[in-house]
Amino acid sequence: MIRIEDIIEKVENNRPNADVDLIRRAYFFSAMHHRGQKRASGEPYLVHPLEVANILADMRLDEVSVSTGLLHDVVEDTLVELDMLRSYFGDEIARLVDGLTKIAHISNLSKEKQQAENVRKMVLAMITDVRVVLIKLADRLHNMRTMQFLKPEKRARISQETLDIYAPIAHRLGMGKFRSELEDLSFQNIYPQEYKRLAKEVEARRPELEAILGKIKETIKTRLEENDVPFVEIQSRVKRLYSLWRKLKKQKISIGQVYDLIAVRIITPNDKKLPYVALSVIHDIWTPIPERFKDWIAIPRDNLYQSLHTSVIGEGGQPFEVQIRTEEMHHIAEEGVAAHWKYKESKLGKKDDDENLDELRKTVEKLLLPLVENTNPNEDSEDFIESLKLDLYPKDVYAFTPMGKVIQLPRGATPIDFAYAIHSEVGDTCTGAKIGGRIVPLRTELQNGDVVEILTTANSKPSRDWLNHVVTAKARNRIRHWIAEQQRAESIELGRKLLEKESDKFRISPKKLLNNEDELKRIANEYGLSRGEDLLASIGYGKTLPRNVLGKFLGAEKFAELDPEKKKETTLQSGFKAVKRLIGLGEDAIIVKGVDNLLTTRARCCNPLRGEPIIGYISLGKGIVVHNKNCKNVSSLMVNRDRIVDVEWAKSEKEEIQSVRLLATTENRTGMLAGITNAIAEIKTGIRDARANVSKDDIGLIEVTVEVFDKKHLDKVVSSIEQVPGVIDVERVNS
């Protein structure tokens, strides 16, 4: 077990002025509260926070980070509460631990939602303090290193999450070393067989590859010296298993065809010119492979990575990659944003640290904020994860503005992405694009080296269709944001018109209310809305009835006096017709006759199924509630005839699954549940839930929830259950 004094010594070496007493106190506190707890390996739990702190000390982080590493699990896993931690260790550490605990604590969400929420929270937490993510990554790394004691399923699940979220974030932050180790450990745990096979294959070739690498290094060393090119170190490696595996799978090639199976790296002193000089020597010795040369020094990757890459053909036709960079660039390639911190810190002191943190925060913000900008926590989480993955693994395309500025975009990007990357305004008003001087469609995929000119028109607006042609989160979010605003503007306008119409019926001037900001606001507040505009929008969305708003405006007495309902006017129906043009709401599967895209909900009492006869009822707040025509509640709804509307099933493009609960009454004998579930599975129907019971009078009651597409499908399921021996009756039940 690592000793706390070793950790303290590391911190003292890196930061002579560090307050190591804080670390010691954190250690005792952690030891005391984790006392008696064990890890899956049987070791004392304390090993984990100690190792995490050690990783953080190796990263040369400050004493606050190292102490937080020691304390990171106390709130999550012991009885210690945040307030107590705050009183012992102050606000800063309490805030960091709180950030970490929150990331760990997201339950009751689907897996995708949890992941999306995790990333979102992490990104937001990081932006306030990047140390949260550095500590989280260290925590994850240690857990990944020591997962051999967990069950294989759990290992695979944690590893998948690491691969989906933590490795990409490490990559995004330029932390190459972290990323590599996380990926290889995940690979090993998710695909143990393939990992073993590949490892064996590489191991078999290793002696041969090492020999080749040895010779290459020797040649480079001699030639650099002959040419008086200074260098610090020449490293070599055989490709990591995970990235090798990905390449083999993606390009469907064999190991022998991988260009960078082996690679050497030349580290030069810190002079930006030296890598280029060394490169000329390399290209002089071996023939470079065309198009494999990349200059990440002139154009750094946006995760700050800088290096020259080239692939050459060695003796015997063996291709290999050469990376050339300065010491400082190398450091940043391995440690990413964490390296930035220590590099800048020549004079140590609290103030410098704060400035450093601030600078680091800005860098992290630039790298990660586009991922969450303008995203709404309620929007589709899967979409969010998708765009995150796209943005985190950029297969970059470099395009240029006519002025020669480089715009880096993920592969698949179009001029629309390009326009938004320049500036949101440019994106919003973009009407066309030229590539290399020629007009091209906006959906054109950009290629490396394209010179792109964006054509804009002052009052032009984004189009919903653009969502199909963008790949960057920034463009997508802006377009969505714009559509949402547009819808709101339309519904406010519509709400205004509905209210005007209603006022006409009451024979009062619409201006009386519409021009009275204070009164509108007062009524809005009554509905729990903050502004008059919100009230109009709510009317426009069909959530609030204009008639009721007028009621609140006029007061009960006046309202009754002027009420046109008495004259048997069908206010609701006519008001409803005006809602026609409202866009963008509603459930795809149901259309309201004569009206486009209205908000519809399925009635809970009868849960109508595609194919069944249905009827719509205008309900306050819920839009149109759709019932089965035979639902027992429909007859009572018929009292308000003018609220009934015709609805029908829309043609649906995708098959939509609906859950339906069935209750089978059976003879009480063994094997009934199995018989029924088998019958359902036989006709390839999903079962969401199944349970068996026996009634007082010895009748078997079996309840199953099945997933069906429509009425026909359900009928098939019912008849298959009816044919199971022992089944007496099957009926559909609704909640």
Q: Provide the annotated active-site residues.
A: 76-77
Spatial CA neighbour of 290 closest among 259, 262, 258: 259
Residue number closest to Mn ion, CB atom: 139
- Nearer of residues 68 and 323 to Mn ion, judged by Cβ: 68
Which of 69-77, 325-333, 678-686, 715-723 is the region at the interface with Mn ion (rule: CB under 5 A)? 69-77
- Nearer of residues 73 and 181 to Mn ion, judged by Cβ: 73
**Contacts of Mn ion in 97-116 (CB under 5 A):** none
All residues at 6 or more sequence positions from 279 whose CB lies less than 8 Å from its CB, including other chains? 308, 310, 322, 324
A 10 A CB-CB count for 226 gives 9
Smallest distance, Å, CB 192 to Mn ion?
Answer: 24
Smallest distance, Å, CB 533 to Mn ion?
Answer: 47
Q: Tokens representing 63?
A: 């004493």
Smallest distance, Å, CB 27 to Mn ion?
Answer: 15
381, 113 contact by CB (below 8 A): yes
Spatial CA neighbour of 74 closest among 55, 53, 100: 100
Site mask for Mn ion (CB under 5 A), range 372-391, x = bound: --------------------
All residues at 6 or more sequence positions from 114 whose CB lies less than 8 Å from its CB, including other chains? 106, 107
For Mn ion (CB under 5 A), the number of binding residues is 2
Distance from C-alpha of 590 to C-alpha of 599, rounded to nearest angstrom? 10
Task: State which amino acid sits at residue 628.
Answer: N
- Nearer of residues 129 and 139 to Mn ion, judged by Cβ: 139
- Nearer of residues 150 and 348 to Mn ion, judged by Cβ: 150
Task: State which amino acid sits at residue 163.
Answer: L
> Within 13 Å and on the Cβ side, how many CA atoms surround 466?
31
Spatial CA neighbour of 367 closest among 184, 174, 520: 174
Smallest distance, Å, CB 181 to Mn ion?
Answer: 17
56, 341 contact by CB (below 8 A): no
Smallest distance, Å, CB 118 to Mn ion?
Answer: 15
Spatial CA neighbour of 492 closest among 530, 534, 545: 534
Q: Is 63 in the site for Mn ion (CB under 5 A)?
A: no
- Nearer of residues 139 and 453 to Mn ion, judged by Cβ: 139
Site mask for Mn ion (CB under 5 A), range 279-318, x = bound: ----------------------------------------
- Nearer of residues 73 and 417 to Mn ion, judged by Cβ: 73
All residues at 6 or more sequence positions from 333 whose CB lies less than 8 Å from its CB, including other chains? 174, 176, 305, 306, 307, 325
The helix, strand and coil proportions of the chain, stated in percent and rounded to the nearest 5, come to 55, 15, 30
Element (H, E) at 195: helix 192-226
All residues at 6 or more sequence positions from 670 whose CB lies less than 8 Å from its CB, including other chains? none
Distance from C-alpha of 52 to C-alpha of 141, rounded to nearest angstrom? 8
Site mask for Mn ion (CB under 5 A), range 544-573, x = bound: ------------------------------
Which of 70-78, 274-282, 297-305, 652-660 is the region at the interface with Mn ion (rule: CB under 5 A)? 70-78
A 10 A CB-CB count for 724 gives 20
Distance from C-alpha of 122 to C-alpha of 132, rounded to nearest angstrom? 8
Q: Is 51 in the site for Mn ion (CB under 5 A)?
A: no
Which of 68-76, 194-202, 462-470, 589-597 is the region at the interface with Mn ion (rule: CB under 5 A)? 68-76
Smallest distance, Å, CB 537 to Mn ion?
Answer: 45
- Nearer of residues 139 and 534 to Mn ion, judged by Cβ: 139
Spatial CA neighbour of 29 closest among 112, 87, 88: 88
Smallest distance, Å, CB 170 to Mn ion?
Answer: 17
Smallest distance, Å, CB 139 to Mn ion?
Answer: 4
A 10 A CB-CB count for 431 gives 14
Radius of gyration, alpha carbons of the chain: 33
**Burial, 508: exposed, middle or buried (Cβ in 10 Å; 0-12, 13-18, 19+)?**
middle
244, 258 contact by CB (below 8 A): yes
- Nearer of residues 94 and 680 to Mn ion, judged by Cβ: 94
**Burial, 148: exposed, middle or buried (Cβ in 10 Å; 0-12, 13-18, 19+)?**
exposed
Distance from C-alpha of 16 to C-alpha of 28, rounded to nearest angstrom? 22
Collapsing DSSP states into helix, strand and coil, what is residue 25? helix
Four-CA torsion 64, 70, 73, 79, nearest 10 degrees: -100
Site mask for Mn ion (CB under 5 A), range 134-153, x = bound: -----x--------------
Smallest distance, Å, CB 451 to Mn ion?
Answer: 49
**Contacts of Mn ion in 565-624 (CB under 5 A):** none
Which of 131-139, 281-289, 340-348, 726-734 is the region at the interface with Mn ion (rule: CB under 5 A)? 131-139
- Nearer of residues 144 and 589 to Mn ion, judged by Cβ: 144
Distance from C-alpha of 550 to C-alpha of 555, rounded to nearest angstrom? 8
Taking CA 714 as the corner, what is the angle to CA 713 and CA 720, rounded to the nearest 5 degrees? 95
663, 699 contact by CB (below 8 A): no
Smallest distance, Å, CB 33 to Mn ion?
Answer: 14
Smallest distance, Å, CB 68 to Mn ion?
Answer: 11
- Nearer of residues 45 and 541 to Mn ion, judged by Cβ: 45
Distance from C-alpha of 591 to C-alpha of 605, rounded to nearest angstrom? 20
What's the chain's length in residues? 735
- Nearer of residues 68 and 310 to Mn ion, judged by Cβ: 68
A 10 A CB-CB count for 509 gives 12
Smallest distance, Å, CB 136 to Mn ion?
Answer: 9
- Nearer of residues 139 and 184 to Mn ion, judged by Cβ: 139
- Nearer of residues 85 and 209 to Mn ion, judged by Cβ: 85
Smallest distance, Å, CB 39 to Mn ion?
Answer: 10
Which of 132-140, 242-250, 297-305, 512-520 is the region at the interface with Mn ion (rule: CB under 5 A)? 132-140
Q: Is 73 in the site for Mn ion (CB under 5 A)?
A: yes
Collapsing DSSP states into helix, strand and coil, what is residue 162? helix
All residues at 6 or more sequence positions from 528 whose CB lies less than 8 Å from its CB, including other chains? none
Q: Which residues bind Mn ion (CB under 5 A)?
A: 73, 139
